[in-house]
């Protein structure tokens, strides 16, 4: 690809971000009755005013609009980010026991009071980004509180790593699953990835020896425990001793983790560590490419024990594929990696962006039809993956051109 082609991709993503993704969330998701944001819009565009409000959705809105304000400086983005910040601090944060509740009622009262560590991680991610964008001390204060909650209640001092979930008062839960599709194990790749991610962002605004040590430990957990060095894929579910008997390969998580691991090593400023992680990044990204279809995006997952394949192309997997291979190109100079990023972006434009209803479809089904049965916005369908893809490419391209 030429410099002009990369610029064209960057300009297209700027238009997508400012003309489609961000306006959808500002105009359609505001809850004008109870404040904050609605809990759900269906895949067919129907507003669900009775849906509960999820912590992950609100934390991801907070991160997205904070980052958009930091990069683009538009006051309407700050207004939306501030509304999300108030939801996290005033409504989701548990002032008695700490942490954030899993969900609220449509009126904004606690609904499901469990403490899912994954959700705490995203609250840190959003609050630290708001602090980075604005210098806001309150956001940093709450981000640090949540960091300490995770370290106090979730960290396993015997086996290392982080336990998945707890009851409101931090007592044990029998069902620790993040979602119905997950295995009920006490440690997972997904939660560790989304602790690594916010700790990386928090380190940008709170450089303490304590956080640095935790971040280094998380990187080691990925390279020593979570990564299957025989295949290059990440294993997903573990017991307390890091034993795994599950065989699902998640191509989207592989490629997402490849660039988030590199980002974590990069913020630490350790050149030796960064060189080591670059090798891991290439291995994981190459393994993820098993699920890449040159002109049809990245498939969802497969089961290596049965050979079963879920070939749907989920919105978030495509977004992470673009960033992951763009990152691999920056590290290695591989034109093949850059070509993958470009091809996936072209696929997104053709099949994933909802040009009539706004935002992105949940997925393109394996039969080639757009999925309008799953949410357009909701507990899991948020502006974070696709918004972040746009902002990553915008910032990375501008940095390349400035060098």
| Consecutive 10-residue averages of pLDDT for the chain (403 residues) | 89 98 97 97 97 98 98 98 98 98 98 98 99 98 98 98 98 95 96 98 98 98 97 97 96 98 98 97 98 96 96 98 98 97 98 97 96 97 98 96 83
Q: Output the pLDDT for position 403.
A: 76
Q: Output the pLDDT for position 401.
A: 86
DSSP lists the bridge partners of residue 310 as 301
Q: Both tokens of residue 333?
A: 């100079």
Residues belonging to the chain = 403
d(CA 2, CA 204): 32
CA distances from 235 to 95, 276, 344 (A): 35, 20, 25
DSSP lists the bridge partners of residue 309 as 302
Q: Output the pLDDT for position 91.
A: 98
Phi, psi of 7, deg, nearest 5: -60, -40
Instruction: For residue 95, count CB atoms less than 10 angstroms from its CB and return exposed for 0-12, middle for 13-18, buried for 19 or more.
Output: exposed
Q: Both tokens of residue 257?
A: 């983790």
Q: Both tokens of residue 5?
A: 């082609």
Q: Output the pLDDT for position 390.
A: 98
Q: Both tokens of residue 289?
A: 């490419």
Q: Output the pLDDT for position 364.
A: 98
Q: Output the pLDDT for position 222.
A: 98
b vs e for 36-58, b when ≥16 Cβ sit within 10 Å of the residue's Cβ? bbbbbbbbeeebeeebbbbbbbb
Q: Output the pLDDT for position 163.
A: 98
Q: Output the pLDDT for position 109.
A: 97
Q: Both tokens of residue 355?
A: 């040009």
Q: Output the pLDDT for position 103.
A: 98
User: With contact defined as beta carbons under 8 Å apart, do 77 and 65 qualify?
Assistant: yes
Q: Output the pLDDT for position 108.
A: 97
Q: What does the domain layout of the chain look like in residue ranges?
A: 3-402
- What three-state secondary structure class fits 299? coil
Task: Please state whether beta strands 53-54 and 297-298 pair in parallel, antiparallel, or not at all (unpaired).
Answer: unpaired
- What three-state secondary structure class fits 15? helix
Q: Both tokens of residue 293?
A: 């279809």
Handedness of CA 212, 214, 218, 220 (dihedral sign): positive
Phi, psi of 267, deg, nearest 5: -65, -25
Q: Output the pLDDT for position 191.
A: 98
d(CA 85, CA 98): 16
Q: Output the pLDDT for position 306.
A: 95
CA distances from 194 to 47, 61, 177, 302 (A): 29, 16, 15, 22
Q: How many other C-beta atoms lie within 10 A of the C-beta of residue 141?
A: 13
User: With contact defined as beta carbons under 8 Å apart, do 57 and 51 qualify?
Assistant: no
DSSP 382: -
- Rounded CA Rg of the chain: 20
At the second CATH level, the architecture of 3-402 is Alpha/alpha barrel (1.50)
- What three-state secondary structure class fits 377? strand
Instruction: For residue 23, count CB atoms less than 10 angstroms from its CB and return exposed for 0-12, middle for 13-18, buried for 19 or more.
Output: middle
């Amino acid at each position: 690809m030429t410099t002009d082609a990369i610029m064209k991709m960057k300009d297209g993503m700027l238009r997508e971000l400012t003309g489609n993704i961000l306006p959808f969330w500002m105009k359609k998701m505001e809850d004008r009755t109870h404040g904050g944001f609605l809990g759900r819009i269906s895949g067919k565009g129907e507003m669900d005013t009775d849906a509960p409000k999820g912590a992950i959705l609100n934390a991801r809105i907070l991160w997205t609009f904070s980052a958009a304000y930091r990069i683009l400086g538009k006051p309407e983005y700050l207004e939306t980010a501030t509304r999300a910040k108030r939801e996290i601090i005033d409504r989701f944060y548990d002032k008695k026991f700490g942490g954030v509740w899993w969900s609220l009622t449509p009126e904004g009262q606690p609904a499901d009071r469990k403490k899912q560590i994954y959700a705490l991680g995203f609250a840190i991610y959003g609050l630290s980004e708001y602090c980075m964008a604005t210098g806001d001390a309150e956001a940093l204060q709450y981000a640090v509180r949540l960091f300490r909650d995770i370290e106090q209640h979730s960290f396993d001092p015997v086996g290392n790593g982080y336990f998945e979930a707890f009851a409101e008062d931090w007592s044990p839960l029998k069902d620790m699953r993040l979602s119905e599709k997950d295995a009920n194990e006490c440690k997972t790749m997904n939660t560790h990835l989304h602790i690594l991610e916010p700790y990386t962002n928090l380190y940008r605004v709170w450089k303490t020896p304590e956080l640095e040590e935790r971040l280094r430990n998380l990187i080691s957990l990925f390279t020593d425990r979570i990564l299957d060095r025989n295949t290059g894929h990440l294993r997903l579910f573990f017991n307390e001793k890091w034993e795994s008997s599950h065989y699902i390969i998640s191509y989207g998580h592989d490629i997402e983790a490849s660039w988030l691991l590199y980002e974590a090593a990069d913020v630490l400023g350790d050149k030796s560590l960064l060189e080591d992680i670059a090798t891991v990044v290439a291995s994981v990204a190459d393994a993820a490419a098993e699920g890449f279809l040159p002109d049809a995006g990245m498939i969802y997952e497969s089961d290596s024990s049965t050979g079963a394949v879920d070939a749907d192309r989920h919105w978030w997997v495509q977004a992470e594929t673009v960033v992951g291979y763009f990152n691999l190109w920056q590290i290695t100079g591989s034109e093949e990696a850059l070509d993958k990023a470009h091809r996936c972006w072209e696929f997104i434009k053709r099949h994933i962006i909802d040009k009539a209803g706004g935002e992105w479809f949940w997925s393109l089904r394996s039969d080639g039809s757009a999925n309008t049965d799953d949410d357009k916005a909701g507990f899991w369908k948020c502006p974070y993956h696709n918004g972040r893809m746009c902002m990553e490419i915008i910032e990375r391209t501008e940095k390349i051109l400035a060098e």
